[in-house]
Amino acid sequence: MATNSGLVYLIALPLFGAISLLLLGRRADKWGHLLATALSAGSFAVGLFQLSEMLGRETEARPVTQKLFTWISVGSFNVDASLLLDQLSICFVLLITGVGTLIHIYSISYMSHDPDRRRFFAYLNLFIASMLLLVLGDSYLNLYVGWEGVGLASYLLIGFWNKKPAYATASKKAFVMNRIGDMGLSFAIMIAFASLGTVSFSGVKEKAEFASEATMTAIGIMLLIAAVGKSAQFPLQAWLGDAMAGPTPVSALIHAATMVTAGVYLIVRSNFVFDAAPNAQLLVVIVGAITLLFGAIIGTAKDDIKKALAASTMSQIGYMVLGAGLGPAGYAYAIMHLITHGFFKAGMFLGAGSVMHGMNDEVNMRKYGGLRKFMPITFVTFGLGYLAIIGVPPFAGYFSKDKIIETALNAGGAKGIILGSITLLGAAITAFYMTRLMILTFTSPKRWDDNQHPHESPALMWIPMSLLAIGSVASGYLLYRGEALKHWLEPLFEKHGEHTELLPPIVVSGLALLMVAIGVSIAVIKYQLSDIDAVAPENVSIFTRAARRDLLQDDANEALFMRPGQALTSALVKVDERVVDGTVRGIGQMAVGSGTALRKSQTGFVRSYAMLILIGAAALIAAIWVVTQ
Amino acid sequence: MEPLLTIQGPEAALFWFLAPLSVIAALGMLLVKKAVHSALLLAWVMITLAIFYIAQDAVFLGVVQIIVYTGAVMMLFLFILMLVGVDSSDSLTETITGLRPIAITAALGFGGLLVSLLGRATLGREAVGLAEANAAGNVQGLAALLFSKYVWPFEVVSALLITAAIGAMVLAHHQRTNARPTQREQAVKRFRSGSLAGAAGLPGPGVFARHNAVDVPALLPDGTPAPSSISATLKARGDVIDSGQFQLDNVDTTVAEEK
Amino acid sequence: MDINNYLYLSAILFTIGAVGVVVRRNAIVVFMCIELMLNAGNLALVTFSRINGTLDGQVVAFFTMVVAACEVVVGLAIIVTIYRSRRSASIDDASLLKR
């Protein structure tokens, strides 16, 4: 594989930004955000340059590597810190740096009143660098470094306003739940090392066909746990909603467009593992399907605009995971949906940020309404993202989501029918809750107080929104046209046989559009054509109540893990107090007791010491006397 | 084989005469009550040892022993004894329970074993004697060794000696914590404190006086007080002491020993 | 007469000195007993010198005297210092080590 010494700049630029902003401290307050944005844009430029070079090469010669240094060298186990840029990585590189740069620009304005703006940009750059390392690492171990790096950046950014205890708790929650996933990844690495003797992607791929299925299943399940943790999939989904405590640009970049999709990247990158482990693959599909519905249902009940969008993110990543679990047929579509989702969801989050910016940081949609007139640009860009997510042709989501639905239906047998139905149902629910969000925010009568003065956001904010909106419109078609993305990624995956088509594509599209229409109509009837309370009604069905409580995810976590954990901890504390401390204290008391006893021999009288010396001398002489007998 | 070294009659006689005396003196050192007596007995032991040195062809050491030990060191001891109080004697009753019997047992064991060890020890050859080593003279022989083979220890020991001298000075040095009172201040203090009895100062050494003379009238030849010898001021204040008690008839001449 | 008699005398004097260190309480007398022990050692050294026919033993005895002189100077200075603050030359009074 060809080497390319330019890859390191992708990571080095934002990393330099993060380090210098953090080290320079307040001296960089005036220009830190500009430097960070410029470095992120520079990284994007390097990415574009790499893409142009890659396009100029033959298909086989497209992946390039760069060895940075020998990291671990123990006997036969060698890990180099090296980077790998192939067709899959470049998609992510461009998404991360492109969307990342737009969000940097947006944040300049959004965070302009925050005294800690420099620190915010340092963390953003740190995130960009870590995320790039994640997608550029050529082995699971290198990926793991980036994986932890984004976890750290996410933690720092969710808790950016950590003066509010609730926000600090939210960041801690995200961190702890991510840890569970990270544990899965480290187990996967350990299993790979122990049974395959290598942790690099190419090495594992080579050995995958010789390894037993049980080994691959174990690695696959561990990787799935990692993906579940990072991508907020069932059952580790509870942290994403709380992660909205962070500033909105963070939610857009990290918790919508990039970091949470790292799980999908991991599954697609490890396609050789899952291809060799059908059971693990099935588990991936199940997780995706459950999360898809789970997130969608939560989304219908949320009044907090950011939490509704977070639930939607969860659900859309469910689509991606489901697609990735469908094997070679679905990988490309999972990535395609990931990219289009990156555009429209980031755009909508920025739109939500813009709305909050104009509404004094009010997040309750029931206190919005009629904002179309006051924020026309936000309305248009948000609307384009809305059309993209619900899958109206020819917007981006239509192409990517329809392909996943189609692939799911074609998975064969009962599995195909069940998965197809779930994805179609998900599409309907998505249409419902997104329409509800649009109506509550923009088109329904106004419900805000008179002391609110909604206004359009400054250009630095709406320009990135517009660019993302263009992406939401065009990206789907561009990637779909002539199966462009599929052919681009094809060399990385196993070839797959043709599926028998359960239904022709046009019928699937028709079905999907029908479901969307049903969802939209229900929402319009329920919200546009009837009155909306400014306060959430209390006399609602038990299902609504459960959905408002995130389908009891936190209660389940508390009952299943927290309380037993607390009980275990208090039991351990007792053991610690009685047994461990008792032993330690006993030893201490023994020492004190013997000291007290021995102290009596220490009279302090010089003469008694002298006498002991005399006795010792006598004993010495006696010993010599005996020995020389 | 003819032994190289035989101890002839005079030296043997000297030994048998002086050795018991030194042991007795040493034991006496342990048993006498007064420290001064101990010091004198120790001086005696040291002199006998000096004689033994000379008898054993260690003339230089014998002389040094007398000059340094009996001369300097013992004088230092006596000097300190004077400083601390020549009368200080400790009662010979033991205060630490059981110390004395244990100490004596241990010492008897120690000494007995040591003597028995010495008796058993053999050199493997006869004693040589110092006739050859002292051929050029004892002092010259010592000097040759001291300034060649032992020159380094010699220098180190001299450094030690200087350090010890300075150390002793530092230890014995007493820092004044307040200014030394002037004569004027002392006089003012005497007159201001309580009665004027001490105003004239304490009597000089060697003077038998029961009281300061200022407030006591002088005695006329017939033994009666002479009022004109008293300051009018003192009379006015009523500070005059009746001198009758000092008349020879009334004085108790059997002076009790003051402790 | 056997030359070993000098060594026996030395051992006896040393033992008497050791007993004196333990038994006597006046610090000055204790010091004198230490001097007695040193002198006993010196006697042994001189005798050894004579047995071996070399002067090295006498040189060492000479050094011992110097060191003993140093020790006396410093030791007596300590006694004076203690006496100044405690008005006592009894070594049993300086028993603060046990605290």
pLDDT over threshold 80, residue B108: yes
pLDDT tens by residue, A135-187: 998 888 889 999 999 999 989 888 888 888 888 888 888 888 888 889 999 99
Residue A113, in any domain of the structure = no
With bands split at pLDDT 50, 70 and 90, how would you rate the model's confidence at B86? Answer: low
Segment A103-128 shows an average pLDDT of 88
**CATH code of the domain containing B47:** 1.20.120.1200
Same domain for B26 and B104, yes or no, is yes
Same domain for B13 and B113, yes or no, is yes
Q: Please report the pLDDT score of residue B1 as a whole number.
A: 39
User: What's the rounded Cα separation, in Å, for the pair A23 and A11?
Assistant: 18
Q: What are the φ and ψ backbone dihedral angles of A340, each rounded to 5 degrees?
A: -65, -40
Q: Please report the pLDDT score of residue B2 as a whole number.
A: 44
CB contact under 8 A, C21 and A610: yes
CATH 1.10.287.3510 fits C25-87, yes or no: yes
Percent of chain B predicted with pLDDT > 70 = 77
Which residue among B19, B104, B118 places its CB closest to the CB of C19? B104
With bands split at pLDDT 50, 70 and 90, how would you rate the model's confidence at C60? Answer: very high
Shortest CA gap B119–chain A (Å): 11
pLDDT tens by residue, A572-596: 888 888 888 888 888 999 999 998 8
**Residue spans of alpha helices (H) in A531-605:** 542-548, 553-557, 563-575, 581-599
Same domain for B121 and B199, yes or no, is no
User: What's the rounded Cα separation, in Å, for the pair B229 and C8?
Assistant: 76
pLDDT tens by residue, B54-68: 998 899 999 999 998
Percent of chain A predicted with pLDDT > 70 = 97
CB contact under 8 A, B117 and A621: yes
User: What's the rounded Cα separation, in Å, for the pair B125 and A546?
Assistant: 110
The answer to whether the beta carbons of residues B123 and C51 sit under 8 Å apart is yes
Residue A305, in any domain of the structure = no
By C-alpha distance, the chain C residue nearest A603 is: C98
Segment B104-113 shows an average pLDDT of 90
With bands split at pLDDT 50, 70 and 90, how would you rate the model's confidence at B25? Answer: very high
The mean predicted confidence, pLDDT, of chain A is 85
Q: Which helix H or strand E contains A71, and what residues bound it?
A: strand A64-74
Count of H helices and E strands in chain A? 26, 3
CB contact under 8 A, A611 and C97: no
Residue from A600, A601, A606, A608 whose CB has the most chain B CBs within 10 Å, to mutate? A608
Domain containing A608 equals: 556-627
Query: Which own/partner contact pairs does A451-454 have at CB distance under 8 Å and 24+ positions apart?
Result: A452/A359, A452/A360, A452/A362, A454/A355, A454/A358, A454/A359, A454/A371, A454/A374, A454/A375
pLDDT tens by residue, B65-78: 999 888 888 888 88
Query: In whole angstroms, what separates CA B114 from the centre of its chain?
Result: 32
The closest of A107, A158, A128, A155 to A40, measured between CA atoms, is: A128
Q: Please report the pLDDT score of residue A198 as a whole number.
A: 84
pLDDT tens by residue, B200-216: 666 555 555 556 666 77
Which residue among B102, B103, B116 places its CB closest to the CB of A625? B116
CA angle A420, A285, A344 (to 5 degrees): 75
Residues 6+ apart with CB under 8 A from A461: A106, A109, A110, A350, A353, A354, A357
Same domain for B20 and B120, yes or no, is yes
Domain containing B44 equals: 9-89+100-135
By C-alpha distance, the chain B residue nearest A609 is: B99
Q: What are the φ and ψ backbone dihedral angles of A137, each rounded to 5 degrees?
A: -60, 140
User: What's the rounded Cα separation, in Å, for the pair B36 and C89?
Assistant: 14
Lowest-confidence segment of A78-82, A305-309, A610-614 by average pLDDT: A78-82
pLDDT tens by residue, A274-324: 888 888 888 899 999 999 888 888 888 888 888 888 888 889 999 999 988
pLDDT over threshold 60, residue C99: no
Sign of CA dihedral A621, A625, A628, B3: positive
Residue B142, in any domain of the structure = no
Same domain for B14 and B110, yes or no, is yes
pLDDT tens by residue, B1-14: 344 566 778 888 99
Q: How far is CA A437 from CA A305, A366, C12, in A?
A: 7, 10, 111
Q: Please report the pLDDT score of residue C26 as a whole number.
A: 85
Q: Please report the pLDDT score of residue A169 as a whole number.
A: 86
Residue B39, in any domain of the structure = yes
- Give A150: exposed, middle or buried? Use CB within 10 Å, 0-12, 13-18, 19+: buried
Residue A527, in any domain of the structure = no
Query: Which own/partner contact pairs does A232-235 have at CB distance under 8 Å and 24+ positions apart?
Result: A232/A260, A232/A291, A232/A313, A232/A314, A232/A317, A233/A263, A233/A287, A233/A288, A233/A291, A233/A314, A233/A317, A233/A318, A233/A321, A234/A287, A234/A290, A234/A291, A234/A294, A234/A318, A235/A556
User: What's the rounded Cα separation, in Å, for the pair B199 and B193?
Assistant: 9
The mean predicted confidence, pLDDT, of chain B is 80
User: What's the rounded Cα separation, in Å, for the pair A254 and A257?
Assistant: 6
Q: Please report the pLDDT score of residue B223 as a whole number.
A: 67
CB contact under 8 A, C9 and B19: yes
The answer to whether the beta carbons of residues A198 and A188 sit under 8 Å apart is no
- The DSSP secondary-structure symbol of B226 reads E
pTM confidence score: 0.61
Residue found by looking up tokens 């080579």 in the block: A206
The answer to whether the beta carbons of residues B213 and B207 sit under 8 Å apart is no
Q: Please report the pLDDT score of residue B93 as a whole number.
A: 67
The answer to whether the beta carbons of residues A132 and A96 sit under 8 Å apart is yes
Residue B107, in any domain of the structure = yes
- Rg, C-alpha atoms of chain B: 32
Segment A446-467 shows an average pLDDT of 82
Residue B256, in any domain of the structure = no
Query: Which own/partner contact pairs does A597-602 have at CB distance under 8 Å and 24+ positions apart?
Result: A599/C98, A602/C97, A602/C98
How far the first Cα of chain A sits from its last, in Å, is: 86
For the record, the structure tokens of A207 come out as 């050995």
With bands split at pLDDT 50, 70 and 90, how would you rate the model's confidence at C16? Answer: very high
User: What's the rounded Cα separation, in Å, for the pair A164 and A142?
Assistant: 35
CB contact under 8 A, C53 and B128: yes
Same domain for B113 and B15, yes or no, is yes
Q: Which chains touch C (3 or more CB pairs under 8 A)?
A: A, B
Query: Which 3 state secondary structure label does DSSP give A533?
Result: coil
Which residue among C18, C92, C98 places its CB closest to the CB of A602? C98
pLDDT tens by residue, A198-236: 888 888 888 887 888 888 899 899 999 999 988 888 888
Count of structural domains, chain B: 2
Count of structural domains, chain A: 1
What size, in residues, is chain A? 629
ipTM confidence: 0.91
Residue B173, in any domain of the structure = no
pLDDT tens by residue, A415-442: 888 888 888 899 899 888 888 888 888 8
For the record, the structure tokens of B62 come out as 């014998």
* Domain ranges for chain C: 25-87
User: What's the rounded Cα separation, in Å, for the pair B200 and B212?
Assistant: 7
Interface A–C counts its CB contacts (< 8 A) at 30
Residue A566, in any domain of the structure = yes
pLDDT tens by residue, A531-552: 777 677 777 777 777 777 766 6
Same domain for B131 and B14, yes or no, is yes
DSSP readout, A445-501? Answer: PP-S-TT----PPPHHHHHHHHHHHHHHHHHHHHHHGGGHHHHHHGGGS---PPPPP
pLDDT over threshold 70, residue B89: no
